[in-house]
């Protein structure tokens, strides 16, 4: 009998602390929210345990559907813009001399050193009517009247792209950095024009990075709260703001809970669909 290979040491007890944290701080609250989403709002904003599904059926109101639709649309456009901007950036970093790559990646990550809220306030300062952007454009003579940028969908879009671009760049960089340079040269040598080198070789081989980057940008964009709250104002509400509004302003916890669950289900469905469609192709 041949001796069985020595088993790799495993430390199952190492799983216990993170599992405990996840169960107590994530699993239990999630179940609580699920339970509350089937309860009713009390007269003074409390929770009455009269089971009902109206919290879910009332989401079908055009008012709320429009907010869901706007959130989805903004998240998709944010993802597409981040991909379009992040790909060239990641490509340049991945092709830079090795000693520069660390520096360039560091520059991509540096914004995280400052609180996201503070950075979003900075964007308010840039985008408002008397803000830096308008002053610059007026000084250059490109416009004659200040543009109203703040509190529009555009401002929200700019804020989302700014906030989540690093989440696109990092996985794309990881994928492109692994891409063998000689494959690009081989395609070029085999009569491919630069655009064909990109579509036939670079893009298919960086697909895992594209998928990871899109998921990482799409999910937080869809549930964004701070950016639409500060840059979009009252007119451009996203789902995140609607949920906050239900919990803290309207004090309708059951409806806020049902909205949270519909958002979660939507994200899950979208990501699963995307992974299946993209993942299946990346195998061929």
Partner 1 sequence: MDGNGNSVELREVTKRHGATVAVDRLSLTIRKGEFFSILGPSGSGKTTTLRLLAGFEQPDSGGIIIEGRHMEGVPPNRRPVNLVFQNYALFPHMTVAGNVAFGLEMQGLPQAEIGPRVTEALAMVRLAAKQDRLPAQLSGGEQQRVALARALVNHPAVLLLDEPLGALDKQLRLEMEVELKALQERVGITFVCVTHDQEEALTMSDRLAVLHQGRLLQVGTPEDIYTAPASAFVANFIGVSNGLSGRVEGIVGQHATVLVEGIGVIHAPAVPGVDAGAPVLVTVRPERLHLSRDQAPEGYQNHFAVRVAKVIYAGNETQYLLTLPNNQTWKARIPNADGAATRFHAGESAYLKWRTAEAVLLPE
**CA–CA dist 29, 40 (Å, integer):** 18
66 binds partner 1 (CB under 8 A): no
Neighbouring residues of 279: CB distance < 8 A, sequence distance ≥ 6: 211
**CA–CA dist 261, 232 (Å, integer):** 24
Q: 97 or 141: whose CB is closer to partner 1?
A: 97
CB 152 within 8 A of CB 232: yes
* Identified binder of partner 1 from the candidate list 130, 139, 189, 234, rule CB under 8 A: 189
204 binds partner 1 (CB under 8 A): yes
284 binds partner 1 (CB under 8 A): yes
Instruction: Specify the stretch interacting with partner 1 by CB under 8 A; choose among 66-74, 129-137, 149-157, 199-207.
Output: 199-207
**Total Cβ atoms within 10 A of residue 126:** 17
**CA–CA dist 252, 43 (Å, integer):** 10
Q: 24 or 277: whose CB is closer to partner 1?
A: 277
Closest approach, Cβ 273 to partner 1, in A, equals 22
CB 167 within 8 A of CB 90: no
Instruction: Specify the stretch interacting with partner 1 by CB under 8 A; choose among 65-73, 119-127, 162-170, 186-194.
Output: 186-194
277 binds partner 1 (CB under 8 A): no
190 binds partner 1 (CB under 8 A): yes
165 binds partner 1 (CB under 8 A): no
CB 201 within 8 A of CB 183: yes
* Identified binder of partner 1 from the candidate list 74, 169, 201, 224, rule CB under 8 A: 201
Cα–Cα separations (whole angstroms), residue 2 to 5, 9, 63? 9, 20, 70
Task: List residues binding partner 1 (CB under 8 A).
Answer: 180, 182-183, 185-193, 196, 200-201, 204-205, 284
């Amino acid at each position: 009998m041949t001796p069985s290979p020595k088993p790799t040491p495993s430390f199952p007890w190492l799983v216990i602390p993170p599992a405990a944290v996840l169960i107590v701080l994530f699993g239990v609250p999630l179940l609580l929210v699920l339970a509350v989403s089937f309860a009713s709002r009390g007269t003074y904003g409390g929770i009455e345990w009269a089971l009902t599904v109206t919290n879910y059926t009332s989401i079908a109101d055009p008012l709320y559907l429009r907010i869901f639709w706007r959130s989805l649309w903004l998240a998709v456009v944010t993802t597409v813009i981040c991909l379009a901007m992040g790909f060239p950036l990641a490509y340049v970093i991945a092709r830079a001399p090795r000693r520069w790559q660390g520096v360039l990646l560091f520059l991509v990550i540096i914004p995280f050193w400052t609180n996201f809220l503070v950075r979003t306030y900075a964007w308010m300062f840039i985008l408002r009517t008397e803000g830096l952007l308008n002053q610059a454009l007026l000084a250059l003579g490109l416009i004659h009247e200040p543009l109203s940028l703040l509190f529009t969908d555009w401002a929200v879009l700019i804020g989302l792209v700014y906030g989540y671009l690093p989440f696109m760049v990092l996985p794309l960089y990881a994928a492109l950095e692994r891409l063998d340079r000689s494959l690009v040269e081989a395609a070029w040598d085999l009569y491919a024009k630069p655009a064909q080198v990109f579509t036939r070789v670079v893009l298919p081989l960086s697909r895992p990075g594209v998928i990871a980057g899109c998921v990482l940008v799409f999910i937080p964009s869809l549930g964004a709260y701070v950016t639409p709250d500060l840059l979009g104002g009252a007119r451009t509400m996203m789902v995140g703001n609607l949920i906050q509004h239900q919990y803290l302003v309207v004090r309708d916890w059951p409806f806020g809970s049902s909205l949270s669950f519909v958002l979660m289900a939507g994200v899950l469905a979208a990501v699963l669909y995307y992974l299946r469609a993209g993942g299946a192709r990346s195998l061929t």
